[in-house]
Chains A and B, each alone.
Chain A
Amino acid sequence: MSRIVLLIYGMAVLTAVSFAEYRGWSLTRVNEVPNVPKSVRDSPGSYRSVYGYYHHYTGGK
């Protein structure tokens, strides 16, 4: 690999890391929901989370 190619590659990696840190990116994702009605603030139960109805495994060791 020529020096110039490696230099461009390295600078691209550093730029990507800088941008990811500045924009607050994360390696994990969360679900995004647009247009949640303002009424949720007065009636929290009206909101339906996509992660509702959780079934926990309690096996333990």
Chain B
Amino acid sequence: MSDQGPVPAGTPQVKSLNCPNCGAGLTLRTFGQAVTVVCGGCHSILDAQDPRLRILQTFQAATREDPPRIPLGTRGTIRGTKYEAIGFQRRSIRVDGVSYSWHEYVLFNPYQGFRYLTEYNGHWNDTSTLRSLPTLSRGGNTLTYLGETYQHFQTANAATNFVLGEFPWQVRVGESAEVSDYVSPPRVISRETTGKEVTWSMGEYISGRDLWKAFQLPGEPPAPRGVFENQPSPLSANVRTTWEMVAVLLTLLVALAVLVYATARDEPVFEDSYSYNTNGAGDASFVTDMFELKGHTSNVVLTTRANVNNNWIYLNYALINQDTGHAYDFGREVSYYHGYDADGSWSEGGQKDSVTVPAVEPGHYYLRIEPESDPRHGSIDYTVALRRDVPQVGFFWLGGLLLLIPALLITWRSMNFEHLRWAESDYGGAPEGSLLSTVENAVTSVKDSIAREDE
């Protein structure tokens, strides 16, 4: 205690005794508050309330096989209070024939009492017993505590495999208790039932790094493996922030679209009607009158309307700059077919076609047009119209999609994290009614329908 500064007046002192089984020295740090104490030499579990330290149980174990990562007697500050590690136990559950074990540490402060640390695969929880009872839902799948809802995660029988140090209860190796965990990350509420006794406790996820710092332990804490039941998702806060920012950016995109549509010239620059005689022979190509494209470099939308009826017309277009000789060469087809068959009426194509010629510089232009069609189908009338500086809705859709990608990506990663969490639960998946469950059901449904189609 000397390294902890002045001892407060009235503070009980550490008591030294000897094990009645092996004679090894015992240190009682809880000043009579411990119920049992375990000898580190012979692993006898002794009655700490008995002045003669009656032997309650002995068990075979080697402390070196599974030493506490926080050595007993180590002191550390948790939530502003200094605690001392006084007890250590290893417990395990069996699920589907596989044993999963974790460690529990008993911490003690003479004024604040007992507190616990649990560790599983590098995941730590700061745990204390509840002073009021949570409210269980009718089905037992959720409970409410201090206005917060907790989802049932797992129920299993936990057996005590190894104990060391002091405990505020009658600890025994081999004893078992039914443990049910309800999670609301970063917290977990556990209900532990032994016979008729029920104990409720709440754990809060704490990083090993913070714990190592609090207890000034040497080296690095064990790296966490997998996703623990109440481990807070590192992405949950980012998901909300990202969606909020994406919503702002999408609003700006809509505002930009309104601005573009309001300010675009979208002006007609040329329109004329023609007739193509499919019975005619020889060269059908011709050029239009000259027209001017004004303003800055912008697009030109060419629309063709033709009175095709179970027929087609193909038009070789060349939009030629009279001043520079630069041409935009493209071909468009207008075809429209319709009829009736055993399935009813059907139709294909239409009598109108539009194409956007991108980034056309201002200048004087004309069109060279060369129509084609099946011969001997009579005359096909068609109209050619050009508009300048027409907004392209496709870029706004593309922009919206690009803006959604980061939000969708981080949401997917967050859902994957939750999937890994709930895969370890009694349910093997997310709780019914949750967003993740809905998505998982939808994915399963799609996979099933694809599999059925393949069959």
In the complex, which residues of chain A have a beta carbon less than 8 angstroms from the beta carbon of B339?
A: 60-61
Contact with B along A41-54 (1 / 0, CB 8 A): 10011010111101
In the complex, which residues of chain B have a beta carbon less than 8 angstroms from the beta carbon of A32?
A: 326-329
* Closest Cβ neighbor of B357 among chain A residues: A30
Does B56 lie at the interface of the complex (its beta carbon under 8 Å from any beta carbon of A)?
Answer: no
Rounded to whole Å, the gap between the CB of B233 and the closest CB of chain A is 15
Given contacts A30-B355, A44-B285, contact A54 B399 (CB under 8 A): no
Does B111 lie at the interface of the complex (its beta carbon under 8 Å from any beta carbon of A)?
Answer: no
Q: Assess whether A51 is in contact with B337, with CB atoms less than 8 Å apart.
A: no
In the complex, which residues of chain A have a beta carbon less than 8 angstroms from the beta carbon of B398?
A: 17, 27
In the complex, which residues of chain A have a beta carbon less than 8 angstroms from the beta carbon of B242?
A: 1, 6
* Closest Cβ neighbor of B390 among chain A residues: A24
Given contacts A18-B256, A27-B394, A51-B316, contact A7 B329 (CB under 8 A): no
In the assembly, what is the distance between CA of A18 and CA of B312, in Å?
37
In the complex, which residues of chain B have a beta carbon less than 8 angstroms from the beta carbon of A58?
A: 312, 374
Q: Assess whether B325 is in contact with A37, with CB atoms less than 8 Å apart.
A: yes
Q: Assess whether A17 is in contact with B330, with CB atoms less than 8 Å apart.
A: no
In the complex, which residues of chain B have a beta carbon less than 8 angstroms from the beta carbon of A51?
A: 316, 329-331
In the complex, which residues of chain B have a beta carbon less than 8 angstroms from the beta carbon of A34?
A: 325-327
Q: Assess whether B395 is in contact with A20, with CB atoms less than 8 Å apart.
A: yes
Q: Assess whether A6 is in contact with B406, with CB atoms less than 8 Å apart.
A: yes
Could you tell me which residues of chain A, from 1 to 60, have a CB within 8 Å of some CB in chain B? 1, 3, 6-7, 9-10, 13-14, 16-18, 20-38, 40-41, 44-45, 47, 49-52, 54, 56, 58, 60
In the assembly, what is the distance between CA of A24 and CA of B391, in Å?
8
In the complex, which residues of chain B have a beta carbon less than 8 angstroms from the beta carbon of A21?
A: 260, 264, 391-392, 395
Q: Assess whether A13 is in contact with B403, with CB atoms less than 8 Å apart.
A: yes
**A52 touches which one: B252, B264, B316 (CB < 8 A)?**
B316
* Closest Cβ neighbor of A60 among chain B residues: B337
Q: Assess whether A9 is in contact with B406, with CB atoms less than 8 Å apart.
A: yes
Rounded to whole Å, the gap between the CB of A43 and the closest CB of chain B is 9
Q: Assess whether A54 is in contact with B358, with CB atoms less than 8 Å apart.
A: no
Does B241 lie at the interface of the complex (its beta carbon under 8 Å from any beta carbon of A)?
Answer: yes
In the assembly, what is the distance between CA of A7 and CA of B325, in Å?
44
Q: Assess whether A14 is in contact with B372, with CB atoms less than 8 Å apart.
A: no
Q: Which of B1-9, B138-146, B295-303, B434-442 contacts A (4 or more CB under 8 A)?
A: B295-303
Contact with A along B345-374 (1 / 0, CB 8 A): 010100000011111100000101010111
The residues of A with any CB-CB pair to B shorter than 8 Å are 1, 3, 6-7, 9-10, 13-14, 16-18, 20-38, 40-41, 44-45, 47, 49-52, 54, 56, 58, 60-61
**23 pairs, CB–CB < 8 Å, chain A vs chain B:** A10-B246, A13-B249, A14-B399, A24-B299, A25-B358, A25-B359, A26-B356, A26-B357, A27-B398, A30-B330, A33-B327, A33-B328, A34-B327, A36-B318, A36-B326, A38-B322, A38-B325, A44-B287, A52-B370, A58-B312, A60-B310, A60-B337, A61-B346
11 extra interface residue pairs, beta carbon distance < 8 Å, beyond A17-B395, A17-B396: A9-B406, A21-B392, A24-B392, A26-B356, A33-B326, A35-B325, A41-B287, A41-B322, A51-B329, A60-B337, A60-B339
